[in-house]
Structures are given as C-alpha cells and as structure tokens.
Chains A and B, each alone.
Chain A
Amino acid sequence: MAVAIAIRVRLFARLRELAGIETESLQLAPGATLSDVYSKVRQTHPELPDRSSVRGAINQEFADWSARVSDGDEVAFIPPVSGGL
C-alpha cells in the first residue's frame, strides 16, 4: 500500500510563462485530487495564481478540483481561454 503515483503536469499560456516550465513530473500519494496537484505545483512555483482563475483537466477532459488523479494521468492547468477572434 501507499505506493506513490506518478503523473505528468502541463501548464499553458500565462501559467506556463509564470512558472517557467511547460511540463513537470510529480509523485503524489494515492487518492490525491486535482486540488492537491495544483497546491503541490504552486509550492515549487509560487508565482502561479490561486486556483480561482484556473481550471484543471485530467487526460484532456475538464475535471472538478475534487477529482482524483491516477497513476500515469496527464494533468493540465488551464487559465481562462481566449481562442476565437
């Protein structure tokens, strides 16, 4: 039990520039949520904004902050989007 899970984190646009990284590999305790992942990323990158203006995605799908991540997941943090015209 209590084996760590490994995930890949991706940051985009302003979040990517603020943190200075595009992608990061993280180890977390089993049962970790999207919220836990973002807190952990912010510990090493305190320039990142609080999560009120950020959405999370797990494996290319928007997910709630309470969603659990699993080993091998791709987790992305997404600032407000501005595609289109």
Chain B
Amino acid sequence: MRYHVTTGPLDPRELEAAVTHPGAGAICTFTGIVRDNSRGRSVTHLDYEAYAEMAVPQMRKIGEEIKQRWPGSRVAMAHRTGHLEVGEASVVVCVSAPHREEAIAACKWGIDTLKESVPIWKKEHGADGTYWIEGDKARPTAG
C-alpha cells in the first residue's frame, strides 16, 4: 500500500521497498518521531486521530502532485493513529527519484504539505495536562 493510515507500528523500510525501482538513484525517507517535550512542556505520550476516509485520498493527492513536480519520482506515505509512546514513529514520507536533489526536495515538500492539509490531529498528554494541537496552537481538552 502506497498510502495508508494504520494503528500498527510504521516500518520505513516497507515504504522504501514500495518506491524503489531500477531508475531510482535516490530514496529520501522522512520519519517523524514522538518527542518527550513540546512547547516547553513534557510529553508522556500522544494520541493521533484521523479522518481516515479523507486522509488517505489527501495523501494520494500530495503524492500525485509530487510525481508531476518531480518527474520520475515515486511516493509512499503512512501515518499512524491511536496511542503512541515517546520514540515511536508517527509518520513516514518516502520519495524515490533519479537523483538526490529531487528526492530530498520532494520529500520535504511532501511532509510539509501533509502537515498542512491531511486531516489528522494530535493530542498531547503531559505532566501538566492534555492538549489538542491545532496547527501551531495547543488547546486544553474539555474534560
């Protein structure tokens, strides 16, 4: 599967295998990892929620645009949902291309665009409470 949302652990090698081919001289893989701090607060774990029926088509749309902008590229993306511990991978974006410049630029554009437009949300749990992250804002949860 080139684009997916899953509650299971992500394996960047699997996505790399999906984009590799004899004409690809470079593969760039971005892996986002759960960090133990955010905005000056400690983070114990995260919950990710997705609108999966829309998130997967949005990821595919980003992949299609990458293939147009960087001819010869192939793309795979995966995002994890549910409970994630510090150190676990939350997102993987993987792009193969004929040369490294395209692979790196396309991968960066891919993760940047995913963060702006794919309907997935992060809830941070920490010592001082629980926050929904909305873009660049942290909002305390209701309950």
Contact = CB atoms under 8 A, between A and B. Distances in A.
A12 interface: yes
Given A17-B142, A84-B32, 7 more contacts: A12-B119, A18-B142, A57-B54, A60-B57, A79-B121, A80-B134, A81-B134
Given A13-B121, A14-B134, A83 B141 contact: no
Interface residues of A, number: 21
A83 B48 contact: yes
Contacts of B139: 14
A44 interface: no
Nearest to B51: A12
Contact of B137 (A10, A17, A57, A80): A80
A31 B113 CA distance: 33
Interface in A18-52: 18, 47
B122 A82 contact: yes
A81 B54 contact: no
Interface centre among A12, A18, A62, A84, by most chain B C-beta atoms within 10 angstroms, is A84
Interface residues of B, number: 34
A83 B121 contact: yes
Nearest to A57: B54
Interface in B88-143: 90-91, 111, 114-123, 132-135, 137, 139, 141-143
Interface of A: 10, 12-14, 17-18, 47, 53, 57, 60-62, 76, 78-85
Contacts of A17: 132, 141-143
Given A17-B143, A18-B142, A82 B53 contact: no
A12 B32 contact: no
